[in-house]
Structures are given as C-alpha cells and as structure tokens.
Amino acid sequence: MPAPVRILFLCTGNSARSILAEAICRARGGDRVVVHSAGSQPRGEVHPLALAILRERGVPTEGLASKSWDVFTGPEAPAFDLVVTVCDAAAAESCPAFPGACHRVHWSLPDPAAVAGGETEMRAAFERVADELERRIPALLAELAATSGPDSDGEPADPSEP
C-alpha cells in the first residue's frame, strides 16, 4: 500500500471552509490521506454550524480545531504533498513555505460564516459549501490516486471545474 497523501487545507479564519474540507477529506479519504487545516488569522474556534453540518452528514468532528498555519512551518513540521487554499484571501496572502515537495491548488469558496441574515441563511450557506466540497474532494482523491501511479507526472489536477 502506498504512503498516504498528506494534504493541508488553508483559509483565513480556519473556522468554517478549511475545517469542513479537512473533516470531509479525512472521512472520504480514509487511510489514503493524512489531512490537516489551518488559517492565516485563525479565529480560535470552529464555527458551530460547521460542526453541526458535519455531524448531520455523519462526518466525524473529533479533534477539529482552529489553528494557525504557523503550526505547519519550520523544521519540525510535517511535510505536505498538497496544499489547497479554499478562500481567495488566503490564496492572495504570502503563504509560508511548508515542508515537503508540495503542490498547490486553489478553490474559491465563499465564506459561509460571513453571510448576512439569520440562521436559515447561514445554514444554507454552510450547506452549499459542504455540498461543493463533497463534489470536489472525491474528484481530488481520484486524481491523487491516478497521479500516484508509475506513469503519472505526480501533479494533481485542479478538480474545481465540473
């Protein structure tokens, strides 16, 4: 069995989009992946609606925490094969160097926590982001499986296009 692919999902606050991506990818990827998430300006807590949506979908939420991307830099940090930014702000920031020969992919996803309105509107926004991640992550995992073969160039494609 090949070594698991190490993936880091990044956004600004690490409370919604990257947390959803981390949990969904870990659940769908199983032992084929090691997944983390972080933010450039972490909020320090996971958004309650992110946790609720994950639980409703049967996705484990244990161990999810909002943390700085600084945790994943420096000589003692784990190496990553792929870094995925899930918000435009984090993609535009000057990202630190992460250990490993990692590839980068950007998925422009709206921040569901920034939606104006009541709980109904926010819940719908979280559902839309989770639905989009449920569409993109299996495509990413399939592409990673295909690129780990002996004839591949090792470059994962960007599954952001339908």
Q: Is 11 a catalytic residue?
A: yes
**Cα–Cα distance for residue pair 91/101, rounded to 1 Å:** 18
Catalytic position from the list 27, 89, 95, 139: 95
Q: From the candidates 24, 87, 90, 129, give the one annotated as an active-site residue.
A: 87
Instruction: Give the 3-state secondary structure percentages of the chain, helix then strand then coil, rounded to 5.
Output: 40, 15, 45
114/119 Cα distance (integer angstroms): 12
Q: Say how far apart CA 86 and CA 88 lie, in whole Å.
A: 7
Angle in degrees, 0-180, between the axes of helices 17-29 and 119-147, rounded to the nearest 10: 50
- Given the residues 11, 16, 20, 21, select the one marked as catalytic: 11
Helix (H) or strand (E) holding 7: strand 5-11
End-to-end CA distance of the chain: 30
The verdict on whether 25 is a catalytic residue reads no
Does residue 102 carry a catalytic annotation?
no
Token pair belonging to 110: 């709206």
Catalytic residues: 11, 87, 95
